[in-house]
Structure 1
């Protein structure tokens, strides 16, 4: 089983982007959050993504964005599982990574959470795009309008070339626009971000109420 076949299979499951990277590309992952920390025999990571429509930014309510985001997470989880099942059926091992990861790591004081694998960093390591100053992954075709899933496998697959940097040094629009001043061009202050990024509705639901850093980015509507 080779990289091209894996990617062809992923696209047949209706992903918009798919990239592959070797575990050697994750050397900068925090301790405990490397693919090898999840599966000790891991050799490759398969990153998959689906995009959402730029039209959502034009809605006068955040409900459509929230609905689509939640739905895409479900779709990516289903695809990751299908891809993992197929790989296993061929005699290999495959571990699907949840798209909307429950935080096993949680710093309550700073409201800082980490999934078992950073999916945007995995997408970057698999050649799908680059991470911008707003900490979102930017892809040449879909801009920053992608959500991700991943599968870790013990197949040694050919890695895709890394993407070029698209976030220009002179652009700081997201840093200036963040209502919480939560961005510094390298990382995000989750405590500040979480104060406004999601709110509870009177009926008990949750709305993603702030995505200014995504919407204002020049790559939001490419």
Structure 2
């Protein structure tokens, strides 16, 4: 078994629902400071990890707000653990690696944005495409997925970037966004790159209106979020 297969098998065995690999060059167009090589100059491969949220707390929002927050926090914790573990797994093989937190940075100039784009990494690694809700839509779980990213200097075999469009632009996420953060997508959105939604409105609703409890209404509104919940790795 090659190292690429070992990495994927290890992550699935530890609880990952989705795993894909991209070459570092696939994210070279990211903004300065957000490219893999900005953090690890010798980066050759990018590993995208997906972990599906349970349907119940998502699809029953907003009544299940507290339960959705539990899902959100547990998923992020699991992804952080998976990222740390696979980075250590690869470093024991002799290759420097680095895991990025599943949660976004919070602060001036970086609201709701991580050090690296988990979403663009997921598209490049073949896990899914952008929806109008500016989240990644996956074939098995819709947008009911949290993501994490690991970069490494070992050259792994990349997966094919996701080429299909899963979003039918039904507009349910737009109509159900309580912050009005998804209006104006029509001429900006693409399945490959998403679009620049109004993150300030989203941020204000989450951290002012909801007091830090996460929203999730754009996920709940998406028809694809019912998903299949098929076994990991299949």
TM-score (norm 2): 0.84
Structure 2: segments with no counterpart, 5+ residues: 186-194, 228-234
**Match of residue 213, structure 2, among 177, 201, 207:** 207
Aligned to 2:225: 220
The whole-number CA distance in structure 2 between the counterparts of 1:5 and 1:58 is 37
The whole-number CA distance in structure 2 between the counterparts of 1:90 and 1:171 is 47
The whole-number CA distance in structure 2 between the counterparts of 1:31 and 1:63 is 36
Structure 1 residues 143 and 87 mapped into 2: Cα distance closer, same or farther (>3 Å)?
same
Q: Aligned with 2:48: secondary structure?
A: strand
Aligned to 2:232: none
The answer to whether the 8 A contact 1:23-1:45 is kept is yes
The answer to whether the 8 A contact 2:105-2:111 is kept is no
Aligned to 1:165: 165
Aligned to 2:192: none
The whole-number CA distance in structure 2 between the counterparts of 1:37 and 1:106 is 20
The answer to whether the 8 A contact 1:199-1:207 is kept is no
The answer to whether the 8 A contact 1:106-1:113 is kept is no
Q: Aligned with 2:203: secondary structure?
A: helix
Aligned to 2:196: 187
Aligned to 2:103: 100
Aligned to 2:74: 71
The answer to whether the 8 A contact 1:197-1:211 is kept is no
Q: How much does 1:193 deviate?
A: 1.1
The answer to whether the 8 A contact 1:106-1:114 is kept is no
* CA RMSD of superposed structures (Å): 2.0
Spell out the pairing of 1:79-158 with structure 2 (5 A cutoff). 79-103=82-106, 106-107=108-109, 112-158=111-157
Q: How much does 1:100 deviate?
A: 1.2
Spell out the pairing of 1:37-56 with structure 2 (5 A cutoff). 37-56=38-57
The whole-number CA distance in structure 2 between the counterparts of 1:199 and 1:17 is 33
Q: How much does 1:52 deviate?
A: 0.9
Structure 1: segments with no counterpart, 5+ residues: none
TM-score (norm 1): 0.88
